Chain A
């Protein structure tokens, strides 16, 4: 896992519908033997020829977009009003720095100071329509020269490595999945490989469905991140999965009921290759698998995820060795399904 490349991918602003910078960065990292096309919805489709064609086309998929904010209005005082794009952790952006619009203008999301709060205000998170982004503009005109309604806003912090092999960054969901696919495409391949870097996953709009229609694969593997709630005070199944527990393969989430035979295949392959694997102990989350599964009359799809703490917040945390387990398991599953 090349951490510098991960940092580069996470630094790209790519809130849903504005994935251009991410797509450019991925293209720059592809091996020269790979060919790519961009479909009408902005999905990046990459193909690499292997030693043989392989029996089946297996669509590998990771999404390029990230959750963030969208500017809805500039107020008379020069503040930006905003709405959420994707399922954001509402508490995550309070009191944090952001980068607004195409020019990546630094701004902050502040709150009424703690000293001035009364009663319940101390305990409740104010609704987002009462919050504003302050970019230092002193009038509507000054702000409008920096950013326009409809432009996106990302969280500012970059990537930091800490502790024993832990990584903290903004858009690990799903830039880590993108990097895993890039790494796979760089390997010597026994069969032809098709990888989709999709748009608009976080909005649930499912641009991946269009890519699946066009590619008509026999199977699909979604490479993702998923929520780990392995914190002190969270017990049993509520923990969902754990950092350091290996690749996460769910049998079901809130978007997809996965084919049981594919789930079993993942377990068998993980055991055979000694790859750490875990499942999700709570039916939670959802991803592009829901869009791909229903494309073209049905495409059996499986998801392999990197467990992450603080998903959809400015500070997503993962462990490097889990990403390595995901890479190994995806490679094994891809080989198996290609020849199934």
Chain B
């Protein structure tokens, strides 16, 4: 699973430029489904026949990054956030610019000798630069405005169970769905459609459009959520690395589905915690539940540290627990049919 997750995280999928991640995810998905297709917005859909009511399984393909807005003398590109970027983390960040070709760049860090006060502040959104080592004309030619930019940090194992990589949000969800489909092979289960949706980080357009055409009876959404970490107390983050899958409870989620998932986890000895939200879930579940004449949704979340950074960190056992619980739910639905 670690290698699959590293491969998925290595593919580019900055919002609006999900092609590479979509192609790789579709390759992994194809042998596990009856048919795989790509919808008009670029989301990947895989269907597998079964017994009973149709269930949608969803995770998003895209990742946060930057978008090029122009070039400056000295061959620097100007950039803006694409999705919710933490500007405190950008100094000295290596990036890949996806222009007319892919090339290396680095976000300059000013030196502490010069700007002692600046070093206490996040980079202002208006001052995001990428050093390309090119002339201005070359930089403009190779990276026209609108080119996407991703963090270039490689995936790395941290100890036995943890991994760190950019884009674990939400390639970990993709990975959990692929693992779930593996678990369903040879089992009697409900008919499923797997949706790897584009454009979650900018508001959920991909999931909304794809769910409209599917009209599922229920949807299970897999995303990441906040895990306790240094400086992040339990009051802000209900998840725990290695603590298992988080089952979401929220007004926008179907209470019966959430409760059934918890009961199944207890019954099957799958590690889980409850994640309680007071309103929306801020995931694609919010969009899917209101498509068509309405879709009851549940949300399973994988605990993640350092969300929206180049060092997102999770525990592989939690990805496995997520896949196990998804599979148990879909098998149960198939058995009841």
Contact = CB atoms under 8 A, between A and B. Distances in A.
Nearest to B308: A114
B135 A164 contact: yes
B311 A310 contact: no
Contact of A312 (B111, B157, B160, B306): B111
Contact of A91 (B88, B132, B232, B237): B88
A231 B133 contact: no
Contact of A160 (B94, B129, B226): B94
Interface string A69-101: 000000101010000000111111111110000
A315 B93 contact: yes
B98 to A, nearest CB: 15
B86 A114 contact: yes
A112 interface: yes
Interface stretch (B30-38, B101-109, B245-253, B292-300): B101-109
B6 interface: no
B131 A112 contact: no
A107 B230 CA distance: 13
Interface in A33-85: 75, 77, 79
B153 A96 contact: yes
Interface string A216-255: 0000000000010111110000101000000000000010
Given A163-B134, A231-B76, A115 B308 contact: yes
B133 A92 contact: no
B106 A310 contact: yes
A282 B114 contact: yes
Contacts of B161: 136
B72 interface: yes
A124 interface: yes
A317 B131 contact: yes
Interface string B287-330: 00000000000000000011111110100000000000000000
A109 B311 contact: yes
A140 to B, nearest CB: 14
Contacts, number: 221
B255 to A, nearest CB: 25
A204 interface: no
A51 B104 CA distance: 46
A3 to B, nearest CB: 14
Interface string A103-127: 0001111111111100000111110
A132 interface: yes
Contact of A315 (B89, B92, B103): B92
B187 interface: no
A135 B110 CA distance: 28
B92 A89 contact: yes
Question: Chain B interface: which size bin?
Answer: 35 or more
Given A89-B119, A111-B88, A232 B76 contact: yes
Contacts of B282: 115
B311 to A, nearest CB: 4
A112 B232 contact: yes
Contact of A232 (B109, B129, B133, B229): B129
A88 B92 CA distance: 12
B274 interface: no
Contacts of A314: 92
Nearest to B241: A138
Contacts of B138: 164
Contact of A162 (B92, B103, B226): B103
B27 to A, nearest CB: 28
Contacts of B135: 164
Given A96-B310, A111-B86, A137-B159, A125 B119 contact: yes
A320 to B, nearest CB: 10
Contacts of A132: 230-231
Interface string B95-128: 0000000011111111111100001111100010
Interface residues of A, number: 69
B244 to A, nearest CB: 14
Contact of B120 (A90, A131, A137): A90
Contact of A112 (B90, B229, B313): B229
A110 B156 CA distance: 14
Contact of A231 (B90, B110, B226, B310): B110
A130 interface: yes
A31 B305 CA distance: 49
Contacts of B153: 96-97
Contacts of B311: 95-97, 108-110
Interface string A291-327: 0000000000000000001111111010100000000
B136 to A, nearest CB: 10
Contact of B119 (A90, A107, A137, A309): A90
Contacts of B236: 112, 116
Contacts of B308: 113-115
B313 A89 contact: no
B208 interface: no
Contact of B92 (A92, A115, A125, A285): A92
A158 B156 CA distance: 14
Contact of A95 (B74, B86, B106, B157): B86
Chain A CB count within 10 A is highest, among B105, B114, B237, B282, for B114
A315 B104 CA distance: 12
Contacts of B65: none
A95 B306 contact: yes
Given A113-B308, A160-B94, A315-B109, A124 B76 contact: no
A235 B231 CA distance: 38
B84 interface: yes
Given A97-B164, A108-B164, A126 B231 contact: yes
Cβ-closest 7 pairs across A and B: A163-B133, A136-B159, A136-B158, A95-B89, A166-B133, A110-B306, A132-B230
28 contacts: A87-B112, A89-B91, A90-B119, A94-B89, A96-B93, A96-B310, A97-B153, A97-B164, A106-B158, A108-B158, A108-B311, A110-B311, A111-B86, A113-B232, A123-B121, A123-B122, A126-B231, A134-B162, A134-B230, A136-B157, A138-B159, A162-B104, A163-B104, A166-B131, A240-B114, A284-B114, A309-B131, A310-B106
